[in-house]
Structure 1
Amino acid sequence: MTAIRIMTYSVGECRGADGRVEPERIVTVVKETTPDVLAVQDLATTTLPDQLDYLARRLGMRAYSAPQAPGCAWLAYAPLKGVQGYDLGQGGCLLRADLDIDGKRLHLLNLRLTAERSARQRQIATLVGPDLLGDRSLTCATLLLGDFADTFWGAGNLALNLHLKKAVRSFWRGTYPAFLPLIDRDRAYYRGHLQILDSRIPRNAAARQACRHLPLIVTVEVTDPRTFLRTEKLKRSRMEVAPG
Protein backbone atom coordinates (compact mmCIF):
# COMPACT_ATOMS: atom_id res chain seq x y z
CA MET A 1 0.00 0.00 0.00
CA THR A 2 1.09 3.56 -0.66
CA ALA A 3 1.87 5.98 2.15
CA ILE A 4 0.75 9.58 1.69
CA ARG A 5 2.29 12.59 3.43
CA ILE A 6 -0.32 15.27 4.21
CA MET A 7 0.40 18.70 5.69
CA THR A 8 -1.98 21.17 7.33
CA TYR A 9 -0.83 24.79 7.44
CA SER A 10 -2.68 27.87 8.70
CA VAL A 11 -0.69 30.56 6.89
CA GLY A 12 -2.24 33.75 8.31
CA GLU A 13 -2.44 35.44 4.88
CA CYS A 14 1.28 34.62 4.49
CA ARG A 15 2.22 37.28 7.04
CA GLY A 16 5.49 36.43 8.76
CA ALA A 17 6.76 37.06 12.27
CA ASP A 18 8.14 40.42 11.12
CA GLY A 19 4.74 41.56 9.80
CA ARG A 20 5.68 41.31 6.13
CA VAL A 21 3.49 39.41 3.68
CA GLU A 22 5.81 37.05 1.79
CA PRO A 23 4.21 33.90 0.32
CA GLU A 24 7.66 32.72 -0.78
CA ARG A 25 8.50 31.92 2.84
CA ILE A 26 5.52 29.55 2.95
CA VAL A 27 6.82 27.96 -0.25
CA THR A 28 10.21 27.41 1.38
CA VAL A 29 8.68 25.64 4.41
CA VAL A 30 6.52 23.39 2.24
CA LYS A 31 9.35 22.49 -0.11
CA GLU A 32 11.54 21.44 2.83
CA THR A 33 8.90 18.96 4.02
CA THR A 34 7.72 17.68 0.58
CA PRO A 35 4.07 16.78 1.33
CA ASP A 36 1.98 14.98 -1.28
CA VAL A 37 -1.13 16.90 -0.23
CA LEU A 38 -1.34 20.29 1.49
CA ALA A 39 -4.37 21.63 3.39
CA VAL A 40 -4.10 25.42 3.69
CA GLN A 41 -6.17 27.71 5.89
CA ASP A 42 -6.35 31.51 6.18
CA LEU A 43 -5.17 32.48 2.72
CA ALA A 44 -5.82 36.08 1.71
CA THR A 45 -8.85 36.21 -0.57
CA THR A 46 -9.03 39.91 -1.49
CA THR A 47 -5.42 40.82 -2.32
CA LEU A 48 -3.44 40.61 -5.53
CA PRO A 49 -1.49 38.67 -6.60
CA ASP A 50 -3.62 35.69 -5.67
CA GLN A 51 -1.87 33.74 -2.92
CA LEU A 52 -3.37 30.35 -3.82
CA ASP A 53 -2.36 30.71 -7.45
CA TYR A 54 1.15 31.77 -6.37
CA LEU A 55 1.61 28.77 -4.07
CA ALA A 56 0.30 26.36 -6.72
CA ARG A 57 2.67 27.69 -9.38
CA ARG A 58 5.75 27.76 -7.13
CA LEU A 59 5.07 24.29 -5.71
CA GLY A 60 3.96 22.70 -8.97
CA MET A 61 0.76 21.42 -7.34
CA ARG A 62 -2.89 21.53 -8.40
CA ALA A 63 -5.08 23.94 -6.43
CA TYR A 64 -8.65 23.25 -5.26
CA SER A 65 -10.98 25.69 -3.51
CA ALA A 66 -14.67 26.57 -3.17
CA PRO A 67 -16.47 29.87 -2.46
CA GLN A 68 -18.25 28.35 0.56
CA ALA A 69 -14.86 27.89 2.28
CA PRO A 70 -13.01 31.18 1.77
CA GLY A 71 -9.34 31.13 2.71
CA CYS A 72 -9.18 27.31 2.70
CA ALA A 73 -7.67 25.30 -0.14
CA TRP A 74 -6.17 21.98 -1.11
CA LEU A 75 -2.91 21.69 -3.02
CA ALA A 76 -1.97 18.25 -4.34
CA TYR A 77 0.17 16.47 -6.90
CA ALA A 78 -2.44 13.76 -7.49
CA PRO A 79 -5.92 14.78 -8.67
CA LEU A 80 -8.58 15.29 -6.00
CA LYS A 81 -12.27 14.60 -6.57
CA GLY A 82 -15.57 15.64 -5.04
CA VAL A 83 -14.26 19.01 -3.87
CA GLN A 84 -16.99 20.83 -1.96
CA GLY A 85 -17.04 23.74 0.48
CA TYR A 86 -19.26 24.09 3.56
CA ASP A 87 -20.04 27.23 5.52
CA LEU A 88 -20.08 26.38 9.25
CA GLY A 89 -21.24 29.87 10.21
CA GLN A 90 -19.54 32.83 11.93
CA GLY A 91 -16.28 32.46 10.03
CA GLY A 92 -15.92 28.69 10.25
CA CYS A 93 -15.71 26.58 7.10
CA LEU A 94 -14.75 23.19 5.74
CA LEU A 95 -13.39 22.07 2.37
CA ARG A 96 -13.91 18.42 1.48
CA ALA A 97 -12.07 16.41 -1.15
CA ASP A 98 -11.58 12.73 -2.01
CA LEU A 99 -8.24 11.13 -2.85
CA ASP A 100 -7.88 7.74 -4.54
CA ILE A 101 -4.77 5.80 -3.48
CA ASP A 102 -4.21 2.59 -5.47
CA GLY A 103 -7.95 2.05 -5.70
CA LYS A 104 -8.56 2.99 -2.06
CA ARG A 105 -10.67 6.04 -1.21
CA LEU A 106 -9.64 8.60 1.41
CA HIS A 107 -12.04 11.37 2.47
CA LEU A 108 -10.10 14.56 3.25
CA LEU A 109 -11.64 17.36 5.34
CA ASN A 110 -9.85 20.73 5.62
CA LEU A 111 -11.24 22.67 8.59
CA ARG A 112 -11.04 26.21 9.90
CA LEU A 113 -12.86 27.12 13.11
CA THR A 114 -13.11 30.45 14.95
CA ALA A 115 -11.80 31.24 18.41
CA GLU A 116 -14.99 32.60 20.01
CA ARG A 117 -16.17 29.78 22.31
CA SER A 118 -19.93 29.69 21.65
CA ALA A 119 -19.44 30.10 17.88
CA ARG A 120 -16.84 27.33 17.88
CA GLN A 121 -19.19 24.95 19.70
CA ARG A 122 -21.93 25.60 17.15
CA GLN A 123 -19.47 25.04 14.29
CA ILE A 124 -18.38 21.71 15.75
CA ALA A 125 -22.03 20.71 16.23
CA THR A 126 -22.56 21.33 12.51
CA LEU A 127 -19.37 19.46 11.70
CA VAL A 128 -20.42 16.28 13.51
CA GLY A 129 -24.02 16.59 12.30
CA PRO A 130 -25.80 14.57 9.59
CA ASP A 131 -24.62 16.73 6.67
CA LEU A 132 -20.89 16.27 7.31
CA LEU A 133 -19.26 13.70 9.60
CA GLY A 134 -22.65 12.12 10.23
CA ASP A 135 -23.28 11.72 6.50
CA ARG A 136 -23.68 8.00 5.73
CA SER A 137 -21.98 8.48 2.36
CA LEU A 138 -18.64 8.99 4.16
CA THR A 139 -18.03 5.26 4.36
CA CYS A 140 -14.30 5.24 3.62
CA ALA A 141 -11.29 6.22 5.70
CA THR A 142 -11.58 9.86 6.76
CA LEU A 143 -8.90 12.37 7.76
CA LEU A 144 -9.92 15.71 9.30
CA LEU A 145 -7.22 18.33 9.76
CA GLY A 146 -6.83 22.08 10.04
CA ASP A 147 -6.91 25.03 12.45
CA PHE A 148 -9.17 24.23 15.42
CA ALA A 149 -8.73 27.74 16.90
CA ASP A 150 -8.83 26.69 20.54
CA THR A 151 -6.60 27.61 23.46
CA PHE A 152 -8.14 25.43 26.17
CA TRP A 153 -9.94 22.09 26.11
CA GLY A 154 -13.71 22.59 25.83
CA ALA A 155 -17.03 20.87 25.22
CA GLY A 156 -16.54 21.02 21.46
CA ASN A 157 -13.39 18.90 21.79
CA LEU A 158 -15.41 16.22 23.59
CA ALA A 159 -17.74 15.98 20.59
CA LEU A 160 -14.75 15.59 18.27
CA ASN A 161 -13.20 12.90 20.45
CA LEU A 162 -16.46 10.94 20.47
CA HIS A 163 -16.54 10.78 16.67
CA LEU A 164 -12.84 10.63 15.76
CA LYS A 165 -9.40 9.54 16.92
CA LYS A 166 -6.60 12.03 17.37
CA ALA A 167 -3.81 11.40 14.91
CA VAL A 168 -0.98 12.97 16.96
CA ARG A 169 -0.56 11.86 20.56
CA SER A 170 3.03 12.97 21.28
CA PHE A 171 3.61 15.06 24.40
CA TRP A 172 5.13 18.05 22.59
CA ARG A 173 2.68 18.88 19.79
CA GLY A 174 2.27 22.67 20.00
CA THR A 175 2.00 24.61 16.74
CA TYR A 176 0.95 28.06 17.98
CA PRO A 177 2.36 30.66 18.29
CA ALA A 178 5.26 29.72 16.04
CA PHE A 179 7.93 31.52 18.08
CA LEU A 180 6.88 29.65 21.26
CA PRO A 181 4.55 26.81 20.22
CA LEU A 182 2.68 25.86 23.38
CA ILE A 183 -0.84 25.34 21.95
CA ASP A 184 -1.81 22.51 19.58
CA ARG A 185 -4.30 24.53 17.53
CA ASP A 186 -3.39 22.71 14.31
CA ARG A 187 -4.45 19.08 14.60
CA ALA A 188 -5.49 15.97 12.71
CA TYR A 189 -8.21 13.43 13.50
CA TYR A 190 -9.18 10.25 11.69
CA ARG A 191 -11.60 7.35 11.58
CA GLY A 192 -12.01 4.17 9.58
CA HIS A 193 -9.36 2.02 7.92
CA LEU A 194 -6.47 4.44 8.25
CA GLN A 195 -3.07 3.94 9.86
CA ILE A 196 -0.99 6.88 11.06
CA LEU A 197 2.61 5.98 10.21
CA ASP A 198 4.29 9.19 11.33
CA SER A 199 3.63 12.75 12.47
CA ARG A 200 5.91 15.73 12.93
CA ILE A 201 5.97 19.50 13.34
CA PRO A 202 8.79 21.46 11.68
CA ARG A 203 10.27 23.86 14.24
CA ASN A 204 13.20 25.27 12.29
CA ALA A 205 13.93 28.97 11.85
CA ALA A 206 12.22 29.14 8.44
CA ALA A 207 8.96 27.75 9.84
CA ARG A 208 9.06 30.07 12.85
CA GLN A 209 9.50 33.12 10.60
CA ALA A 210 7.02 32.23 7.82
CA CYS A 211 3.78 32.86 9.77
CA ARG A 212 2.20 32.59 13.24
CA HIS A 213 1.46 28.84 12.97
CA LEU A 214 3.78 25.89 12.54
CA PRO A 215 2.64 23.23 10.07
CA LEU A 216 1.68 19.71 11.06
CA ILE A 217 2.56 16.76 8.83
CA VAL A 218 1.05 13.28 9.06
CA THR A 219 1.99 10.25 6.98
CA VAL A 220 -0.95 7.90 6.52
CA GLU A 221 -1.78 4.62 4.85
CA VAL A 222 -5.25 3.45 3.87
CA THR A 223 -5.81 -0.11 5.06
CA ASP A 224 -9.37 -0.53 3.75
CA PRO A 225 -9.57 -3.97 2.06
CA ARG A 226 -12.18 -2.72 -0.40
CA THR A 227 -11.22 -1.39 -3.85
CA PHE A 228 -13.12 1.40 -5.57
CA LEU A 229 -12.73 1.18 -9.34
CA ARG A 230 -13.14 4.15 -11.63
CA THR A 231 -16.03 3.86 -14.07
CA GLU A 232 -13.75 3.65 -17.09
CA LYS A 233 -12.01 0.60 -15.54
CA LEU A 234 -15.20 -1.41 -15.19
CA LYS A 235 -15.57 -4.03 -17.93
CA ARG A 236 -18.81 -4.00 -19.82
CA SER A 237 -20.99 -7.04 -19.28
CA ARG A 238 -21.46 -9.35 -22.27
CA MET A 239 -24.97 -10.21 -21.11
CA GLU A 240 -27.80 -8.79 -23.18
CA VAL A 241 -31.38 -8.12 -22.17
CA ALA A 242 -33.86 -10.32 -24.01
CA PRO A 243 -36.61 -8.40 -25.81
CA GLY A 244 -40.04 -8.40 -24.20
Structure 2
Amino acid sequence: TQESQSGVLVLLAKQAIKVSRSYDLGSGASCMYSEHTDEECRFNLLNVEMNGRFFKRPEQIRKLLTLDLFKPNALQFPTLVLGDFFDSVWVSAHYQFQRKFVRLSPTFLRATYPSYFPILSRDRAYATDHIKLQAVHIDRSKLARKATLHLPIILEVEIQDNRVAVSAGHVLYP
Protein backbone atom coordinates (compact mmCIF):
# COMPACT_ATOMS: atom_id res chain seq x y z
CA THR A 1 0.00 0.00 0.00
CA GLN A 2 1.32 3.44 -0.96
CA GLU A 3 -0.23 6.80 -0.05
CA SER A 4 0.40 10.18 -1.67
CA GLN A 5 1.71 13.12 0.33
CA SER A 6 -1.72 14.75 0.29
CA GLY A 7 -3.31 11.54 1.55
CA VAL A 8 -5.91 11.76 -1.23
CA LEU A 9 -4.54 9.11 -3.59
CA VAL A 10 -3.90 5.58 -2.41
CA LEU A 11 -2.44 2.69 -4.36
CA LEU A 12 -3.17 -0.91 -3.45
CA ALA A 13 -1.18 -3.47 -5.42
CA LYS A 14 -0.78 -7.23 -5.48
CA GLN A 15 2.44 -6.90 -7.46
CA ALA A 16 5.75 -5.49 -6.29
CA ILE A 17 6.04 -1.71 -6.59
CA LYS A 18 9.54 -0.69 -7.62
CA VAL A 19 9.14 3.09 -7.44
CA SER A 20 6.40 5.29 -6.04
CA ARG A 21 6.29 9.10 -6.07
CA SER A 22 3.56 11.69 -5.79
CA TYR A 23 3.36 15.07 -7.50
CA ASP A 24 1.36 18.21 -6.67
CA LEU A 25 -0.39 19.59 -9.76
CA GLY A 26 -1.76 22.66 -7.97
CA SER A 27 -5.21 23.70 -6.74
CA GLY A 28 -5.76 20.37 -4.97
CA ALA A 29 -4.86 18.19 -7.96
CA SER A 30 -2.23 15.46 -7.65
CA CYS A 31 -0.65 12.54 -9.46
CA MET A 32 0.83 9.38 -7.99
CA TYR A 33 3.37 7.51 -10.12
CA SER A 34 4.36 3.90 -9.55
CA GLU A 35 6.42 1.37 -11.45
CA HIS A 36 5.23 -2.23 -11.25
CA THR A 37 7.27 -5.26 -12.05
CA ASP A 38 6.81 -8.99 -12.06
CA GLU A 39 8.54 -11.90 -13.74
CA GLU A 40 6.83 -11.28 -17.08
CA CYS A 41 6.79 -7.53 -17.60
CA ARG A 42 7.05 -4.04 -16.18
CA PHE A 43 4.62 -1.18 -16.50
CA ASN A 44 4.01 2.32 -15.16
CA LEU A 45 0.81 3.45 -13.47
CA LEU A 46 -0.24 7.06 -12.93
CA ASN A 47 -3.17 7.70 -10.60
CA VAL A 48 -4.46 11.21 -11.31
CA GLU A 49 -6.91 13.38 -9.41
CA MET A 50 -7.81 16.69 -10.99
CA ASN A 51 -9.48 19.08 -8.60
CA GLY A 52 -10.32 22.69 -7.96
CA ARG A 53 -11.79 25.34 -10.19
CA PHE A 54 -12.68 24.55 -13.81
CA PHE A 55 -10.30 27.12 -15.32
CA LYS A 56 -7.34 25.72 -13.33
CA ARG A 57 -7.50 22.49 -15.36
CA PRO A 58 -5.28 23.62 -18.28
CA GLU A 59 -2.56 24.56 -15.79
CA GLN A 60 -2.93 21.22 -13.98
CA ILE A 61 -2.71 19.26 -17.26
CA ARG A 62 0.34 21.33 -18.28
CA LYS A 63 2.00 20.49 -14.94
CA LEU A 64 1.15 16.81 -15.42
CA LEU A 65 2.70 16.77 -18.89
CA THR A 66 5.82 18.69 -17.81
CA LEU A 67 6.68 16.28 -15.01
CA ASP A 68 10.01 14.50 -15.41
CA LEU A 69 7.90 11.42 -16.21
CA PHE A 70 6.94 12.83 -19.60
CA LYS A 71 10.38 13.83 -20.83
CA PRO A 72 11.51 11.94 -23.94
CA ASN A 73 12.35 8.32 -23.11
CA ALA A 74 11.24 8.71 -19.46
CA LEU A 75 8.29 6.32 -19.68
CA GLN A 76 10.27 3.35 -20.96
CA PHE A 77 7.55 0.83 -20.18
CA PRO A 78 3.86 0.63 -21.09
CA THR A 79 1.89 3.18 -19.07
CA LEU A 80 -1.64 3.35 -17.70
CA VAL A 81 -3.08 6.71 -16.61
CA LEU A 82 -6.14 6.30 -14.41
CA GLY A 83 -8.15 8.64 -12.28
CA ASP A 84 -10.66 11.36 -11.66
CA PHE A 85 -10.20 13.94 -14.40
CA PHE A 86 -13.07 16.04 -12.95
CA ASP A 87 -14.28 17.16 -16.39
CA SER A 88 -13.89 16.16 -19.99
CA VAL A 89 -13.46 19.47 -21.76
CA TRP A 90 -9.82 20.23 -21.01
CA VAL A 91 -8.36 16.73 -21.29
CA SER A 92 -10.29 15.96 -24.48
CA ALA A 93 -9.10 19.17 -26.10
CA HIS A 94 -5.49 19.00 -24.91
CA TYR A 95 -3.41 18.09 -27.96
CA GLN A 96 -0.29 16.90 -26.10
CA PHE A 97 -2.26 14.63 -23.81
CA GLN A 98 -4.26 13.13 -26.67
CA ARG A 99 -1.06 12.57 -28.67
CA LYS A 100 0.59 10.57 -25.87
CA PHE A 101 -2.37 8.50 -24.65
CA VAL A 102 -5.29 6.48 -26.01
CA ARG A 103 -8.53 6.39 -24.05
CA LEU A 104 -9.48 2.95 -22.68
CA SER A 105 -12.47 3.84 -20.53
CA PRO A 106 -15.98 3.60 -21.99
CA THR A 107 -17.18 6.41 -24.24
CA PHE A 108 -20.86 5.38 -24.38
CA LEU A 109 -22.99 5.48 -21.20
CA ARG A 110 -19.85 6.36 -19.28
CA ALA A 111 -21.10 8.43 -16.32
CA THR A 112 -19.51 7.38 -13.02
CA TYR A 113 -20.22 10.28 -10.64
CA PRO A 114 -22.03 10.58 -8.29
CA SER A 115 -22.40 6.85 -7.83
CA TYR A 116 -25.99 6.95 -6.53
CA PHE A 117 -27.18 8.78 -9.72
CA PRO A 118 -24.30 9.02 -12.18
CA ILE A 119 -24.57 11.98 -14.54
CA LEU A 120 -20.90 13.02 -14.94
CA SER A 121 -18.07 11.20 -16.69
CA ARG A 122 -15.18 12.19 -14.42
CA ASP A 123 -13.26 8.92 -14.22
CA ARG A 124 -11.07 7.85 -17.11
CA ALA A 125 -8.40 5.38 -18.14
CA TYR A 126 -5.75 6.10 -20.76
CA ALA A 127 -2.78 4.09 -22.00
CA THR A 128 0.34 4.29 -24.12
CA ASP A 129 1.46 1.78 -26.72
CA HIS A 130 1.88 -1.86 -25.74
CA ILE A 131 -1.32 -1.98 -23.67
CA LYS A 132 -4.21 -3.78 -25.31
CA LEU A 133 -7.74 -3.42 -23.94
CA GLN A 134 -9.46 -6.80 -23.52
CA ALA A 135 -12.66 -5.71 -21.77
CA VAL A 136 -14.10 -2.71 -19.94
CA HIS A 137 -17.27 -2.05 -17.99
CA ILE A 138 -18.62 0.18 -15.25
CA ASP A 139 -19.85 -1.57 -12.11
CA ARG A 140 -23.37 -0.21 -11.64
CA SER A 141 -24.36 -2.70 -8.96
CA LYS A 142 -26.29 -1.70 -5.86
CA LEU A 143 -23.23 -2.46 -3.72
CA ALA A 144 -20.97 -0.23 -5.84
CA ARG A 145 -23.48 2.62 -5.64
CA LYS A 146 -23.53 2.39 -1.84
CA ALA A 147 -19.83 1.74 -1.24
CA THR A 148 -18.20 4.47 -3.34
CA LEU A 149 -18.60 8.05 -4.51
CA HIS A 150 -17.54 7.08 -8.04
CA LEU A 151 -18.70 3.94 -9.84
CA PRO A 152 -15.69 1.68 -10.46
CA ILE A 153 -14.43 1.24 -14.01
CA ILE A 154 -13.25 -2.35 -14.43
CA LEU A 155 -10.51 -2.79 -17.04
CA GLU A 156 -9.01 -5.99 -18.31
CA VAL A 157 -5.82 -5.21 -20.20
CA GLU A 158 -2.97 -7.13 -21.74
CA ILE A 159 0.40 -5.54 -21.18
CA GLN A 160 2.61 -6.33 -24.12
CA ASP A 161 6.14 -5.94 -22.86
CA ASN A 162 8.27 -3.76 -25.08
CA ARG A 163 11.68 -4.84 -23.78
CA VAL A 164 14.12 -6.72 -25.97
CA ALA A 165 16.44 -9.18 -24.28
CA VAL A 166 19.94 -9.58 -25.71
CA SER A 167 22.48 -12.00 -24.29
CA ALA A 168 25.89 -10.57 -23.45
CA GLY A 169 28.45 -11.35 -26.14
CA HIS A 170 25.91 -11.80 -28.93
CA VAL A 171 25.48 -9.36 -31.78
CA LEU A 172 22.17 -9.00 -33.55
CA TYR A 173 22.25 -8.31 -37.29
CA PRO A 174 19.26 -6.99 -39.24
TM-score range, shorter chain: 0.7 to 0.9
The answer on 1:64 being equivalent to 2:2 is: yes
Displacement of 1:199 in angstroms is: 1.0
Q: Deviations over 1:134-183 (max 9, x none)?
A: 35221211100011111xx4234322323211002441111011122122
8 A contact 1:64–1:75 mirrored in 2: yes
Q: Give, in whole Å, the separation in 2 of the partners of 1:202 and 1:132.
A: 31
The answer on 1:158 being equivalent to 2:93 is: yes
2:23 is aligned, of 86, 100, 121, to 86
Query: Against the structure 1 CA distance between its residues 161 and 101, is the aligned structure 2 distance closer, same or farther, given a 3 Å change threshold?
Result: same
- Write the letter of the residue equivalent to 2:146: Q
- Counterpart in the other structure of 1:201: 138
Displacement of 1:223 in angstroms is: 1.2
The answer on 1:148 being equivalent to 2:85 is: yes
- Counterpart in the other structure of 1:127: 64
Q: Give, in whole Å, the separation in 2 of the partners of 1:194 and 1:211.
A: 27
Q: Report percent identity of matched pairs.
A: 31
Query: Against the structure 1 CA distance between its residues 203 and 144, is the aligned structure 2 distance closer, same or farther, given a 3 Å change threshold?
Result: same
- Please list, as runs of the form range in 1=range in 2, the aligned pairs for 1:186-197 lying within 5 A after superposition: 186-197=123-134
Displacement of 1:80 in angstroms is: 1.0
Displacement of 1:107 in angstroms is: 0.5
Structure 1 alignment gaps of length 5 or more: 1-62, 229-233, 238-244
- Matched length: 167
- Write the letter of the residue equivalent to 2:32: L
- Write the letter of the residue equivalent to 1:175: T
Q: Give, in whole Å, the separation in 2 of the partners of 1:189 and 1:102.
A: 24
Query: Against the structure 1 CA distance between its residues 155 and 204, is the aligned structure 2 distance closer, same or farther, given a 3 Å change threshold?
Result: closer
8 A contact 1:104–1:227 mirrored in 2: no
* Structure 1 moving runs of 4+ over 4 Å: none
Structure 2 alignment gaps of length 5 or more: 170-174
Q: Which moved more, 1:81-90 or 1:175-184?
A: 175-184
8 A contact 2:77–2:162 mirrored in 1: no
- Please list, as runs of the form range in 1=range in 2, the aligned pairs for 1:217-232 lying within 5 A after superposition: 217-226=154-163
Q: Deviations over 1:64-122 (max 9, x none)?
A: 1232x431011011111110111111111111111124332111001111141221211
Task: Please give the secondary structure, in 1, of the residue aligned with 2:8.
Answer: coil
Query: Against the structure 1 CA distance between its residues 147 and 207, is the aligned structure 2 distance closer, same or farther, given a 3 Å change threshold?
Result: same
Q: TM-score, normalised by structure 2?
A: 0.85
Task: Please give the secondary structure, in 2, of the residue aligned with 1:80.
Answer: strand
Q: CA RMSD in A?
A: 2.3
Q: Give, in whole Å, the separation in 2 of the partners of 1:168 and 1:197.
A: 11
8 A contact 1:103–1:227 mirrored in 2: no
Q: Give, in whole Å, the separation in 2 of the partners of 1:183 and 1:102.
A: 39
Q: Give, in whole Å, the separation in 2 of the partners of 1:99 and 1:178.
A: 29
